[in-house]
Amino acid sequence: TTQFWSRASVVTLYYECKDAGPGQELRYNTNMDRQYLLDVATRRVAIEWAKAQKAYPILRNIATPTTKISARLKTTAGYACYGAHSVEFSASLMWEHTEHFIKDTIPHEVAHLVTHRVYPDVKGHHNAEWYAIMLNVYGIKATRCHTLTNTEWEARKARAI
């Protein structure tokens, strides 16, 4: 199995402490966070795509999807873009829920691309073919939507009320 860095093991690499006085918070370098997340996601997308290529020979000559990390996505965990053959993930949700992304969200989005390539005429996104790929290729009993909370986004909304 492939090991990924846990959030706890990289906090010291990505956070800068600014005068650790009372009431002062840690701030982080967003570019470094996104690069870390991109590295993790890109590796995991490659692993999940390789599993699909093994299961579906039709995919063997198709390159690994492009991976993007977006600061724009706040409540959407990720999405697959069929035309660009890419997947995009929420930076804030992935940072807060890295393990869930590795185990569930990344395979979920890659399965959309697999479904689109293997069953191009099938309509819908979370259809029977997609569920079958999630179960048979990734061993995951799929769910359509996540229940992850973006605590920073929720706190901002609460302060705005």
Residue 109 annotated in active site: yes
Q: Do 71 and 34 form a contact (C-beta atoms < 8 A)?
A: yes
CA 159 to chain centre: 28
| Helix, strand, coil shares, percent, the chain, to 5 | 50, 10, 35
Total residues belonging to the chain: 161
Residue of 48, 88, 99, 109 marked catalytic? 109
Calculate Rg over the CA atoms of the chain: 17
Distance CA 51, CA 57 (A): 11
| Amino acid at position 35, single letter | Q
| Amino acid at position 86, single letter | S
If you search the block for the tokens 């918070």, which residue do you land on?
25
Q: Which residues are catalytic?
A: 109
